[in-house]
Amino acid sequence: MIRTFLCILAIFLSARTVAATRADDGPIEVDFSPLPGADNDTEYRLRLVVKMGGKELDQEYKIGKRTNTADVAELIRESLPDGFDVKLDGAKLVINTYDGKPIDKLTITATGLPKGADQPKVRRLPK
């Protein structure tokens, strides 16, 4: 019983979720710089969920060891379908709109990170 509880707790703690919800309709910034970068041998996964205008995009990415965080941001930008208005600034990705409408919610979950590693930072920017 205790072993099961500890396993569930370990999974919960290793898969923290970062989200931005629609407090207003400004763009959403995702900063990937807290993730392991080119100097780290960690492979990890990212799950990106974007809700916009009744639609939902749910994508998962496997990030290889020694991947620069700016390359992670570029990978995600390039994988977004047509209709997204996105800007890239190094390891930061700013999603302005989808088909001209604001993003309702964005959630990003990183799993497989080293113990104590930070998650990407997600925040809603003012218009």
pLDDT tens digit string along 57-91? Answer: 999 999 999 999 999 999 999 999 999 999 999 99
The topology (CATH level 3) of 2-124 is Immunoglobulin-like (2.60.40)
Cβ distance 101 to 52 under 8 Å?
yes
pLDDT computed for residue 101 by the predictor: 94
pTM of the model: 0.81
Q: Is residue 83 packed enough to be buried (19+ CB in 10 Å), middle (13-18) or exposed (0-12)?
A: middle
Q: What's the token pair of residue 106?
A: 């964005």
Average pLDDT over residues 33-54: 95
Rounded to 5 degrees, φ, ψ at 72 are -65, -45
3-state secondary structure of 43: coil
pLDDT computed for residue 85 by the predictor: 98
Over the chain, what is the mean pLDDT?
A: 87
pLDDT computed for residue 13 by the predictor: 39
